[in-house]
Structure 1
Amino acid sequence: MSSPYRCPNCKTNRTRFNLIEQVPTAVKLDPMTGEVVQQYENGHLDPFHTPYRGPHLKVQCAACGLIEDERTFIKFGEQK
């Protein structure tokens, strides 16, 4: 986080944010009960399990509550 942020929703907040780290856990669920049958370690997924490719960090505006990818807040922060 070395870039200024600005909320794209309320357009005034440049200082108060919540940083949300996303830590994915790959699991296989029982289709009937929803219980975890197997938990996969990183890099050891079965052929039909796609690894998580989403952002590591999300940002929430602490003024209006909007949650978006960090790059969205950075792009609005670059504008004057």
Structure 2
Amino acid sequence: MSAPYLCPGCKTNRTRFNIIEQVAKSVKKNPQTGEVLEEYAEEIISPMHLQYKGPDVRIQCAACGIIEDEISFIKRAEYNKSS
């Protein structure tokens, strides 16, 4: 998060962002009621349940509202260094 950002959507914002920290919780739900039947601990997960492998952090541009992976904002800033 110490790298410069540039919004890949509006391509003008370099200063105002919302950092969204994602915390995945593995659960098993009742298909009829939606009630949570079981919560899986990270180290004890069902063989039929894939663990979350997405990013821990997402970034939202506070000017246009687009939400993307952090790398999108970093790469856009690298690409437009001279601007």
Same fold (TM over 0.5): yes
Cα RMSD, aligned residues only = 0.6
Question: What is the identity percentage for the equivalent residue pairs of Structure 1 and Structure 2?
Answer: 59
| 1:11 Cα deviation from its structure 2 partner | 0.3
Runs (4+) off by over 4 Å: none
| 1:42 Cα deviation from its structure 2 partner | 0.7
Instruction: Tell me, in whole angstroms, the C-alpha distance in 2 between the residues paired with 1:71 and 1:29.
Output: 33
Which sections of structure 2, spanning at least 5 residues, go unmatched? none
What is the SS of the residue equivalent to 1:73? Answer: helix
Alignment correspondent of 1:13: 13
The alignment of Structure 1 onto Structure 2 pairs a total of residues equal to 80
Alignment correspondent of 1:44: 44
Q: Deviations over 1:15-50 (max 9, x none)?
A: 000000000000000011011000011121010000
Alignment correspondent of 2:63: 63
